[in-house]
Amino acid sequence: MFSGLLEDIRLYKHLIGIQIRAQAQYKVDLALGILTMLLFTCLEFMAVLLFFTQFPRLGDWSVGDVALLAAIMALGAGIAEVIGAGVDTFDKTIRLGEFDRLLLRPVGAFMQVLGSDFRLRRLGRFIEGVIVFVVALRFLPGLHWTLAKVIILPIGIVSGAFVFIAILLLGATLCFWTVETTELTNLLYDGGREMLNYPIIIYNDALKRVFLFVVPLAFGSYVPTCYILGRPLPFGLPAELAFVAPLVALAFALVSGFVWNFGVKHYQSTGS
C-alpha cells in the first residue's frame, strides 16, 4: 500500500508542477488575484482590531492573543485553500460528467481530484496569516518562545490544513448524491473557519466539544495558540494535547477518506 502512496505523491507533484508553470505565465493576473484576496482577508482582520479599540478584552483574551489565534488559523486555512481547490470545486467535476474519466485512469480518484487544481491565486490568505502573525508578535512583547512552542507552530498549522481539506472532502462526497448542497458545504467550511477565528471559550460547551472532538478544527488553531500563550484548555485538558494534533487530524482525515470511498462506491453502483 505504501509504494502506491509514494507513486501517488510523485504523480501529485507532477500534476501541480504543470499547473504552477501555467499559472506563473500570467504574472499580472496572478498578482492581482493574490492581492485582492490579501486585501479582503486583511480587511476582515482589521474589523477584529477595530473591535479592540472599544473593548479591552474578548473574554479574557487580549488583542495580541486574538491576533495570534487569527494568524495560526489563517496560515492553516490558507494552505488548505491553495492545495484543496480541486476538492472545493468537485461539484463542477461531477456536473460536467468528468469523474468517469478519473475512474478510467490507473490512479486513485482522490489524488487526481486533489491534483486537478492548485490555485496560487489563493495564496492571499496565507500571506495575510504571515502579516497578522507579525502584528501579533508586536502586541505580545512579553511572549517567551521556547523550542517546544516553536515546534508546535508548524505542527498545529499543518494539522489545521489537513482538517480543512478533510472537511472539503466531506463536502465533495455529498456531490455524489446531489450537487444541490454546495451552499451547505460552503457554509460549514466558511462558518467553521470564521468561528475558530475567535477563542472557543466564547461559545457554549456543546460547540466547544464539537470543535475539539467531532470536527477537530480547534487543534489547528485554538489548541496550539493556547499552548504558546500558556493558557489552559477547556474541560481541564492538558496543554500538551497540542502535540497530539497530527494524530487527531489524521484520524479525522481517515474518517473523511472512508466516507469518500463509500461515495465513490455509490457512484459506481448508480452511475452518474
Report the C-alpha gap between 10 and 48 in whole angstroms.
41
- Residues in contact with other proteins by CB under 8 A are 7, 10-11, 14-15, 18, 22, 32, 36, 39-40, 43-44, 47, 50-51, 53-59, 97-98, 100-101, 103-108, 180, 183-184, 187, 191, 194-195, 198, 201-203, 265, 268-271
Nearer to other proteins by Cβ, of 146 and 204: the residue is 204
Note whether 88 and 173 are within 8 A (CB): no
Report the C-alpha gap between 102 and 226 in whole angstroms.
42
Residues in the chain: 272
What are phi and psi for residue 58, nearest 5 degrees?
Answer: -110, 105
Least distance from other proteins to the Cβ atom of residue 209, Å: 15
**Nearby residues of 31 by Cβ (< 8 Å), 6 or more positions away:** none
What sign for the dihedral angle of Cα 136, 138, 139, 144?
Answer: positive
Nearer to other proteins by Cβ, of 18 and 255: the residue is 18
Which amino acid, one-letter code, is at 61? W
Nearer to other proteins by Cβ, of 148 and 184: the residue is 184
Nearer to other proteins by Cβ, of 104 and 147: the residue is 104
Nearer to other proteins by Cβ, of 64 and 248: the residue is 64
Least distance from other proteins to the Cβ atom of residue 202, Å: 4
| Residues facing 61 on adjacent strands | 58
Identify which of 228, 75, 251 has the alpha carbon closest to the alpha carbon of residue 151. Answer: 228
Least distance from other proteins to the Cβ atom of residue 88, Å: 16
Tell me how far CA of residue 144 lies from CA of 46, 193, 270, in angstroms. Answer: 26, 27, 58
Least distance from other proteins to the Cβ atom of residue 15, Å: 7
Nearer to other proteins by Cβ, of 203 and 243: the residue is 203
Least distance from other proteins to the Cβ atom of residue 251, Å: 26
**Nearby residues of 89 by Cβ (< 8 Å), 6 or more positions away:** 117
Nearer to other proteins by Cβ, of 105 and 251: the residue is 105
Identify which of 80, 156, 158 has the alpha carbon closest to the alpha carbon of residue 123. Answer: 80
Least distance from other proteins to the Cβ atom of residue 265, Å: 8
Least distance from other proteins to the Cβ atom of residue 160, Å: 18
